[in-house]
Amino acid sequence: MSDLPDLTGKHVAIIATDHFEETELTTPRDSLEEAGADVRIYAPHTGNLQAMSGDVDKTISVRVDGTLDEFDPAWADVLVVPGGTVNSDHLRTEERAQQIVQQVLASGTPVAAICHAPWLLVSAGLVQGRRLTSFPSLAVDIRNAGGEWVDETVVVDENLITSRNPDDLPAFVSAIGDALTA
């Protein structure tokens, strides 16, 4: 998948919790690592996270590199938030996850959220006046929070990158690569 430029020296943080959509975490992680980036996964707890396929089938387990409380927003050159309905629903209620996306977005660092992950942006109060996409069922939530929802493969609004679903991963990862080399 990766036609990314050399990302050696770049730091990528992924925040997630259990029941994330497997490919929405592993595809960006693997592609960015192959391009030389240092990729770390942060979660509300230590240990491993359970991945899912289509929200219903358990797949792999992924090791956590640190907790949300241990995450330093200044370390990251980009923050990636994978989807998965359960992951996103739980993550959006995590106060520390909300603080992280608020701090990272306010600093000008790119935030990349795919599928159901923009729920975290809604809960953190970050979609007002922004143009973004997501899984279609979030369109009403985004509009109600003052955002402009569009049905596009990838949307880049300043330092916010969003995509709709796993089919959009090539464009999503490419946009992350572009943001890291801009």
Q: Kindly list the catalytic residues.
A: 115
Q: How wide is the angle at C-alpha 60 spanned by C-alphas 23 and 41, nearest 5°?
A: 65
The token duo for 141 is 């939530």
User: Which residue, among 125, 122, 145, has the nearest Cα to 162 in the 3D structure?
Assistant: 122
Distance CA 109, CA 103 (A): 9
Burial class, 99, CB count within 10 angstroms (exposed 0-12 / middle 13-18 / buried 19+): middle
